[in-house]
Structure 1
């Protein structure tokens, strides 16, 4: 068993073809945002309490009605078969074994039905807003029929940003791997490699509907009975609008550093969004989480859970479902240790006073 996430990262980089590694690891523009979430989390320090009974620490929690072994889930990422032949089926099996949430990308390389059949834990389905609304309706109905528990609409990508590594590689989804849950003709552009251009970016310009507004959320809520979660919110203003438009949750995320360059990081935005929504919807942090202590920091700032993205793919590339499960268990084990050393025997024990932010002595609860 590997004992540190960076070892999984190194193994994945060694095993994956260069253009695939760049697709997973790269960022947008100057790639300034790749390290921003990690740096923001590193600036936050913990304030432990002493003489608390931590003989039994319970990391379990609930998120939108789903029971989790810890406040941890896997963020949506496309084309898991680029990392392992079993793709999302292996990831789903691992998440279930670890008791974690899995958010499945609409551009998954395995069918929703196969993923659901392998899953023993909760599943959410991520959506981009395509121009073809009939395809969205089909995906939503299939998700409902196969037991998915929520829809996650990505709102920070009206189109895919310029990603220099993908452009330099002329990256396109290779033959034999495709987004099997979306009509082939709609996905065709993502397979057409051209020198100096990313097929992923070209596809998004063709197929993503960049005209949607807050008012379109009413249509989405009408066509589904599932809770709607928005992913990519980074301001209190948008958090307030989201609550007013009836969303059930927010994922505070800067898309793994792959969208707006020079943005604020997700950890830097978290407290503002938590304070704005004031308990009216769930809040999840996605960005830079690489250690169990990061889960504790996010909970202290008011998040209900965190998501990890690339580390799950590192584990998948390393050893399939076993690697993903080991990554999740590693983070959960670190988190449980932090609970004991923080004097926080339950998830509910983490409060704002448990962290020190840059320039502050501490924040009171």
Structure 2
């Protein structure tokens, strides 16, 4: 039976946010300083318009695509987001099971509340999907290597190296709330107990771990020497960094601004995407995250050249709303919306999605062609 309360991602955001304590709600929903980038990640999609086509036989529309060498049901993966157990006690385990049910891949944060072994086991009981391990550059290289080795041994296929975090973004709400991960929740991949986490502020804990000495020349060859997993750079917003990712032999980049949580006034990811796609020249894979709230947003990102979209906050809202079933609802909504947009625009496969399928709204005059 159709849920009459929750029909869209906006509905899930509203219902899920209501269930979160203020500190957790602010941590998940807020961004850096004035929240400009958080806001524009969402609104930037609205200036692009869909160009419907008529009388196209779409009776056999196929939204599936291939990511990490295996077929997924539609071009969405779940972004690595930390502290998912703050939204629901099952946290990443519930997310992993929901991903397996809908046959999409999942990124796992270094600050997950469950270990990568547990997360992998949870999905394996439902289906077969791929996991990628998110990684920061750490001052403790020995610990960083342990995280890499554990992820590879558990069956992960890729490292998502977060490149946009030489420091932690200025997040006023976290400071006002003196945000700390709630008691009882640890970071097993970082080998941190609840007691150790609570002993420091969130800022202090991150800064004590994270290395601002990171660089392309030091980090990429070092990681490559430790693993056979794919290496992706998460947090890219410029053509220059896409070219460097190519130069250093990375397997892909995720066009991302960390959900607006790092440098405020950085561009919305959909607006940064075209220059990154152009710089890639088809020689490195380009994915995107940030602000994706509907099937139409997924379609627009693919039309602009992304191969796949990653979603973060919608999953957290789904967890808070109804645990595993809430995450399933998020994926159900996005899949259904994306499939219908494909049909209305005359696309029978993701290969049919191109810039010809969208336009840009002009302040004065007709729809602009891209």
Matched, 1:86 2:90: yes
Question: How far apart are 1:358 and its partner, in Å?
Answer: 4.9
Partner of 1:177: 185
SS at 2:190's partner residue?
A: coil
Question: How far apart are 1:285 and its partner, in Å?
Answer: 1.1
Matched, 1:68 2:77: no
Matched, 1:140 2:142: no
168, 173, 193: which is aligned to 1:160?
A: 168
309, 322, 326: which is aligned to 2:325?
A: 322
Partner of 1:196: none
TM-score (norm 1): 0.95
Alpha-carbon distance change, 292 to 273 in structure 1, aligned in 2, over 3 angstroms? same
Matched, 1:301 2:278: no
What is the aligned residue count? 357
SS at 2:186's partner residue?
A: coil
SS at 1:33's partner residue?
A: helix
Q: How does 1:212-291 map to 2 (within 5 A)?
A: 212-216=214-218, 217-291=220-294
What are the superposed Cα offsets for residues 76-119 of structure 1, whole Å, 9 maximum, x if unpaired? 10011101111110110001111111100011000111100011
What are the superposed Cα offsets for residues 306-355 of structure 1, whole Å, 9 maximum, x if unpaired? 01111101111111111101101110110000000010110000012222
What are the superposed Cα offsets for residues 148-204 of structure 1, whole Å, 9 maximum, x if unpaired? 11110000111111100000001111110111111228x8764236xxxxx222222
SS at 1:338's partner residue?
A: helix
Q: Is the 8 Å Cα contact of residues 64 and 282 (structure 1) preserved in structure 2? A: no
Partner of 1:361: 368
CA distance in 2, matches of 1:190, 1:274: 39
Q: Is the 8 Å Cα contact of residues 32 and 261 (structure 1) preserved in structure 2? A: yes
Partner of 2:118: 114
What are the superposed Cα offsets for residues 283-320 of structure 1, whole Å, 9 maximum, x if unpaired? 11101100001111011111001011111011111111
Partner of 1:56: 60
CA distance in 2, matches of 1:48, 1:281: 30
Question: How far apart are 1:52 and its partner, in Å?
Answer: 2.2
Q: Is the 8 Å Cα contact of residues 236 and 276 (structure 1) preserved in structure 2? A: yes
Alpha-carbon distance change, 192 to 30 in structure 1, aligned in 2, over 3 angstroms? farther
Question: How far apart are 1:207 and its partner, in Å?
Answer: 1.4
Q: Is the 8 Å Cα contact of residues 183 and 195 (structure 2) preserved in structure 1? A: no
SS at 1:181's partner residue?
A: helix
Structure 2 unpaired stretches of 5+: none
Q: Is the 8 Å Cα contact of residues 161 and 201 (structure 1) preserved in structure 2? A: no
Question: How far apart are 1:357 and its partner, in Å?
Answer: 2.9
Q: Is the 8 Å Cα contact of residues 77 and 105 (structure 1) preserved in structure 2? A: yes
Q: Is the 8 Å Cα contact of residues 44 and 356 (structure 1) preserved in structure 2? A: yes
TM-score (norm 2): 0.93
Q: Is the 8 Å Cα contact of residues 160 and 200 (structure 1) preserved in structure 2? A: no
Structure 1 unpaired stretches of 5+: 194-198
CA distance in 2, matches of 1:255, 1:8: 21
Partner of 1:347: 350
SS at 2:38's partner residue?
A: coil
SS at 2:37's partner residue?
A: coil
